[in-house]
A and B are shown apart, each in its own frame.
Chain A
Amino acid sequence: MPADPRRDPPAAAPGGGAADTPLIRIRGLSKAYRRGEQVIPVLQGIDLDVRRAEFIALMGPSGSGKSTLLNLVAGIDKPDAGRIEIGGVDIARLGESELADWRAAHVGFVFQFYNLMPVLTAFENVELPLLLTGLSRRQRRAHAGAALEMVGLADRVDHYPNELSGGQQQRVAIARALVTDPTLVVADEPTGDLDRTTGEEVLGLMDELHRELGKTIVMVTHDPKAAARAQRLVHLEKGVLVDEPEAAAPGRR
């Protein structure tokens, strides 16, 4: 019988710590948008568990609420109802400043259009999240350098984003996402603006980092190639999780 991703999460990935309690526990999550008089429900009572070091892909047609769910998990939006427990903390209860601090400590972001600061060099972009920690200048520079090396861009540290190709910019973004050693990496269509080859390279990189660093990755994507890299697929339609006949991603260990 195909495993129900909600009730039977797969076995703990290698390198996982307290592998039995899920890292992310979502219960009864609801969100609606108000446009004037109209109230448009986007998410309706979502329950979801994500295990530590799991790499999951959120998929669904446009308007399904997958991006909204991602935003809520990342702590950049607030739900109307429900709980989002990440690492034991219900982030739905946090105030705005606390949420900001929480994101700084726990979340790494990868966006479709890279979202790098055009006026900062690759190095400075990667260093940016470290400014929110208490690290000294020397420590920050060490971490940023290491992150860039990890993504294979040690020779491009002083380039500005407009001097880098799309793939290189996304790699910088990935380095930025990892530099603070976050609990969770959130990716919104990471290959959406890249051609096939470059997309593959970036996905390979994310893959590698998942395996080697054991990061928990939640990714929204349309791209089947990207989805194929994930350990688990979660489908959304009209704001609810739906069962897919083939719940487990094909060919995935």
Chain B
Amino acid sequence: MRALPLAYVARNLWVRRVTTLLTALGMALVAYVFATVLMMSEGIRAALVATGQPDNVIVLRKGAGAEINSGITRPQAAVLETLPGLARDTGGRPLISKEPVVLNSLPKRGSGKPSNVTLRGTGPAGLALRPQVRLVEGRMFRPGTAEIVAGRATAAGFAGTGLGESLRFAGRDWQVVGLFDAGGTGFDSELWADADVLMQAFRRASYSSVVFRLADPAGFEAARAQIETDPRLTLEAKPETRFYAEQSEALASFIRILGLTLSVIFSIGAVVGATITMFAAVAQRVGEIGTLRALGFRRSAVLAAFLAESLLLALLGGALGLAAASGMQSVRVSTVNFQTFSELAFQFRLTPAIALQTLGFALAMGLVGGFVPAWRAARLRIVDCLRAA
């Protein structure tokens, strides 16, 4: 099939600039919503999935689902410490951390509206188990004191959590002595303090979770079996990566499904716009169609030309929408994760896959919108076209 030149297709869009722009704008907005939603879902996933270290194992009470619902008593934690095959740090101490996790309702900076922030009790082992966390300002809290360090996102978002500031709860003042950067993972939205001080302050008898690393990662299954079949323990063990992936499930899925549904509904409007535009284009160029057919271009060439026009229009819209969406990457968002009931800060993340999907979605809109007009154009009889011209 000999095709019409791309210049013909592109220039026809240029010649009716206003219409082209308005139609492309409609599609750009849909593409923007589509891309942004996917970027949001990806951002949540990335923040949480990256939170987990591949070789770490997290232990919770069976069926708890989230750390705040979970309770591991001191005796049970002691049993875990005797697990064979635990990795050791440079000082020879076993890499196992027993952590109480509580939620603090703190007012946000700016709006003053309260939301829940995760406060985690940890220690040197806990720090060693999370190499992605780096202290960037100030210093680490001293064991045995009511000092805390704050994740970057928390310090930026919540009143009283910045370096040098202090919070008051459980009957004492807690001083923020350092800020840490967790590389955009979930820990950026947390506050960390000394585990024992925390347990004491809140008068708790049990930890929320226990995290450890095995010297040989292949020994995970054996360790898990040992933990889950021990009659003294009502616990379950998971690789940290899987645990955090599950934590993001509900929220990421919710956003993705909501967003995709909306995008599809919105796309109806944009597709309608494309169809109207292409029908008008065909109507205006009936004479040209007849001439081209007379010259010897096949019906398929006419179909292809108008379809190409619609696709080019859609591509333009898709590219504009994608460009606008990529500007969202500098926006920081924070919301409460349904599953953990606490704040999670994340960013909009644009991946090549999302960019391709967005352009693909735009092209699909162009295809659906432009098909019927292009088909009709190709079905016209030559003599009718020439007579109407």
Contacts and interface: CB of A to CB of B under 8 A. Distances in A.
Chain A binding site: helix, strand, loop or mixed by DSSP? helix
Contacts of B288: 115, 117-118
Interface string A90-129: 0000001100111111010101010101111000100011
Interface in B1-52: 2-5, 7-8, 11-12, 14-15
B230 to A, nearest CB: 78
A100 B293 contact: yes
Interface stretch (B170-178, B211-219, B266-274, B295-303): B295-303
Interface residues of A, number: 26
Interface string B218-240: 00000000000000000000000
B79 interface: no
Give the size category of B's interface with A: 20 to 34
A118 B11 CA distance: 10
Nearest to A77: B383
Contact of B293 (A76, A111, A118, A128): A76
Contact of A76 (B3, B297, B382): B382
Given A101-B296, A118-B15, A132 B291 contact: no
A124 B7 contact: yes
Contact of B389 (A77, A115, A124): A115
Interface in A169-206: none
B356 interface: no
Given A115-B389, A120-B11, A109 B295 contact: yes
B296 A111 contact: no
A65 to B, nearest CB: 13
A131 interface: yes
B294 interface: yes
A100 B15 contact: no
Contacts of B14: 119
Contacts of A115: 287-288, 290-291, 386, 389
B297 A109 contact: no
B389 A113 contact: yes
B178 to A, nearest CB: 65
A74 interface: yes
A77 B15 contact: no
Contacts of A76: 293-294, 382-383, 386
Contacts of A117: 8, 288, 291-292
Nearest to A120: B8
A103 B386 contact: no
A128 B297 CA distance: 10
Interface in B243-299: 287-288, 290-299
B296 A129 contact: yes
A44 interface: no
A101 to B, nearest CB: 7
Given A71-B383, A119-B11, A103 B296 contact: yes
Contact of A131 (B5, B382, B389): B5
Interface string B283-325: 0000110111111111100000000000000000000000000
Contacts of B4: 131
B166 to A, nearest CB: 70
Interface in A114-158: 115, 117-120, 124, 128-129, 131-132
Nearest to B10: A119
Contact of B382 (A77, A120, A128, A132): A77
A105 B15 CA distance: 31
B18 to A, nearest CB: 16
B217 to A, nearest CB: 61
Contacts of B294: 74, 76, 103, 107, 109
26 contacts: A76-B383, A76-B386, A77-B382, A100-B296, A100-B298, A103-B295, A103-B296, A104-B295, A109-B291, A111-B386, A113-B287, A113-B389, A115-B290, A117-B8, A117-B288, A118-B288, A119-B7, A120-B7, A120-B11, A124-B5, A128-B292, A128-B295, A129-B296, A131-B2, A132-B2, A132-B297
Given A77-B382, A131-B4, 4 more contacts: A76-B383, A100-B293, A119-B15, A132-B297
Interface of A: 71, 74, 76-77, 96-97, 100-105, 107, 109, 111, 113, 115, 117-120, 124, 128-129, 131-132
